[in-house]
Amino acid sequence: GAKVMETRSVEIAKKFGISLWISQSLRKKEEGTRVGFMEEKLESACIKNVTSLDEVIYFEICCEYKFVKIIVDILAKISQKLDMFEIKPKENDVNICFIEEKKNVSAFLDEIKNLVLSKDVEIVSKKTLTKITLVGSGFRTHSGILSDVIRVLKENQIKVFMAMLSEISIGVLILPEYKNLAIN
């Protein structure tokens, strides 16, 4: 009666190529519109592409919680994005783990230099890694796919430093020398 399709049904239909019949419920079947066709199973995870980002710098920083906002503001100022950002509470401090593109690292280090020199912030780890991203759909609702990714990487002796999962992507940080093997 409202002449509106329920949003989730349209998203699922588009995402998975499901045929929709759009019509008023009291009209004959011939009247209305068929949209799309069904090719894939409903709500299955689907990998469409694999991408890589070379020479990302993985930081692990130990600091008091009050410095988290300062560090986030500095990252936002130099790169306008936060990628694979994680806060891990410790007894009295926190560890902040994140990646930054190599081109932004010197600007970031310049910005936090005074905090590091004052011993308020300690850079625990700084490694050059490669980010491999699987792009697709249904990853969050089918978390078994992350398990499969980790299993395949482990079977190929590829250590994962950090993994992030969203509905449309799975990102893993690995050593650069394993990039081609991981992609394959």
Query: CA gyration radius for the chain?
Result: 23
pTM for the model = 0.70
- Tokens representing 90? 């410790």
Average pLDDT over residues 70-98: 89
* pLDDT on residue 40: 47
Q: 178 pLDDT exceeds 90? A: yes
Lowest mean pLDDT, pick from 39-43, 53-57, 85-89, 126-130: 39-43
Q: Bridge partners of 83?
A: 99
Residues 167, 173 contacting (CB under 8 angstroms): no
Q: How far apart are CA 182 and CA 135, in angstroms?
A: 14
Q: How far apart are CA 68 and CA 121, in angstroms?
A: 10
Tens digits of per-residue pLDDT, 109-137? 999 998 888 888 999 989 999 999 999 88
Q: How far apart are CA 158 and CA 175, in angstroms?
A: 8
Tell me the pLDDT of the chain averaged across its residues: 85
Residue with tokens 């409903």: 42
* pLDDT on residue 37: 54
Residue with tokens 């994962």: 160
Q: 44 pLDDT exceeds 70? A: no
Q: How far apart are CA 94 and CA 85, in angstroms?
A: 13
